[in-house]
Structure 1
Amino acid sequence: MSTVVKTQKRDKKENAKLRNSGFIPAIVYGYEVESQSIAVSEKDFTKTLREVGRNGVMKLDIDGKSVNVVLSDYQTNVLKGQMIHADFLAINMKEELEVNVAVNVTGTSVGVSEGGMLQQPNRELTVTVKPSDIPDSIDIDVSGMAIGDTLTVADIREKVDYPITNEDDYTLVTVSAPRVEEETEDTEEEPETTTTTEE
């Protein structure tokens, strides 16, 4: 388990001031915790997040009480790439919960080798798992996929170690045919003709 991340209570009016002083405005709610606005040290939180991963369990020190939490949601500043707000869900380590886990595609599909295009319309799966067993990602081997093939939850449900809550028709990967450049009149160059008149 990672080190405990210290928190402090915050006033929502002070969000900008907190960010400028190295803190991330946040909210914590869930198991045996009254929903409240807090702030966490950006430095300590970022370090802990690197240690446990996006779905990992971390500990928050809230008024001297150590609380097990997972990062439920967050917002980032697109331009600066900094986290500007975080939502923490307090959890019971003995009970299962639903979490979103990244899908990691492995292997090179037959279809891609033949010029096809691999697409991932959905890059996460929702699984039910105990906090201590939350995976960083779920690997999916696509090496057997040919052009025109589609991989859905139904195809992998029995191969994954965790119950998946998404529907069977939830599409994860497709291999489409290579794009063919359409010839148009605009792209076809017609030979120039000149008209001359005899005097």
Structure 2
Amino acid sequence: MDAVLQIQERTIEGKKVKTLRNQGITPIHLYGSEFDSASMQVEMSELISVLNLAGFSSPITLNDGKKNIIAFAREVQRHPLTEQIIHVDFQIVGKDDQVEVEVPVNLTGESPAVKNLGGVLIKLMETIRISSKVNVVPKSIELDISVIESLEQSILVSEIEVAEGVQIVSDESFAIARVIPPRIEIEEEVEEEIIEGEESEDQAETDESADSDTDDKSEE
């Protein structure tokens, strides 16, 4: 499903923009390397739906009633108390332009380290930054975790396979997902350390008591 947003020219600026928001309209700003920046406005409900669909990683088609414009949502400003969207910046791009975007990572499959060893899967990165032409930007990156067979094993960014024309920009040494030992093992290790610590303290107290008795006898 393509993300399409109907936009209109905005003539209201400054503090008066608040009246638009009260009417369910959100101000937006368009900019691009080969595009004159423009102040526009959109229906808030439509904007929310499109952003939920496309996010920051998929191109959005903006229609002003005359032509279609390809853009990416770049910055979303929200009200500090209500979290309501109050302004959005869109970057206008050409279909053959090279862009950098954050693409969501989806974990697929089942890890033997989880299934057979009782490990706990930890997802360390929600998105990966990639570079590609607009027409080949992936909506998401699928990562098969069935390759994680042992505890403390990770999948690194360098292990991701992407389509032709797509380049990984994120640091390749970063771990995306890892399987750690089950919690019960961690708790047992902590308990053992506590017991060992208590035994050391008891032994130290015993040694101190013995030294004290020896000193008392020496004084007699």
Question: TM-score, with normalisation over the residues of structure 2?
Answer: 0.70
CA distance in 2, matches of 1:69, 1:137: 18
Instruction: Say if 1:30 and 1:43 are closer, same or farther in 2 by CA, change over 3 A.
Output: same
Question: 1:12 touches 1:37 (CA, 8 Å); kept in 2?
Answer: no
What SS class does the counterpart of residue 108 from structure 1 fall into?
Answer: coil
2:85 aligns with one of 77, 83, 86: 83
Q: Does structure 2 conserve the Cα–Cα contact (< 8 Å) formed by 1:110 and 1:147?
A: no
How far the C-alpha of 1:53 sits from its partner, in A, is 2.3
Inter-CA distance 77–150: structure 2 relative to 1 (3 Å threshold): farther
Higher mean displacement: 176-185 or 127-136: 176-185
Counterpart residue identity of residue 33, structure 2: Y
- Once the 2 structures are TM-superposed, how far is the Cα of residue 63 of structure 1 from its aligned partner? 9.0
Structure 1: gaps (5+ residues): 186-199
1:19-44 alpha-carbon deviations (Å, 9 max, x no partner): 22112232211132223443221233
Decide whether aligned partners of structure 1 residues 121 and 4 sit closer, same or farther in structure 2, where only a CA change above 3 A counts. closer
Residue 110 of structure 1 aligns with an amino acid whose one-letter code is P
What corresponds to 1:150 in structure 2?
154
**Whose helix fraction is larger, Structure 1's or Structure 2's?**
2
Residue 102 of structure 1 pairs with residue 104 of structure 2: yes
| Paired AA for residue 14 in structure 2 | K
Identity within the alignment, % = 27
State the 1:154 CA deviation.
1.3
Contact 1:26 1:37 in 2 (8 A): yes
Choose the corresponding residue for 1:133, options 129, 136, 154.
136
Contact in 1 for aligned 2:107/2:144 (Cα 8 Å): yes
Q: Give the equivalent residue in structure 1 for 2:214.
A: none
Task: Return structure 1 stretches of 4+ with deviation > 6 angstroms.
Answer: none
> For residue 5 of structure 1, what is the aligned residue in structure 2?
6
Q: How far apart, in 2, do the equivalents of 1:5 and 1:20 lie?
A: 19
The yes-or-no answer on 1:53 pairing with 2:54 is: yes
State the shift of 1:61 in Å. Answer: 4.2
The DSSP-based 3-state class of the residue aligned with 2:19 is helix
Q: Distance in 1 between matches of 2:94 and 2:159?
A: 32
Cα distance in 1, alignment partners of residues 81 and 147 from structure 2: 39
Q: Which structure 2 residue ranges, 5 or more long, are not aligned?
A: 196-220
CA distance in 1, matches of 2:157, 2:108: 16
Q: Is contact 2:3–2:54 with CA below 8 Å preserved after alignment?
A: no
Q: Is the 8 A contact 1:4 1:66 kept in 2?
A: no
Q: CA RMSD in A?
A: 2.7
Q: Which structure would you say has the larger Rg?
A: 2
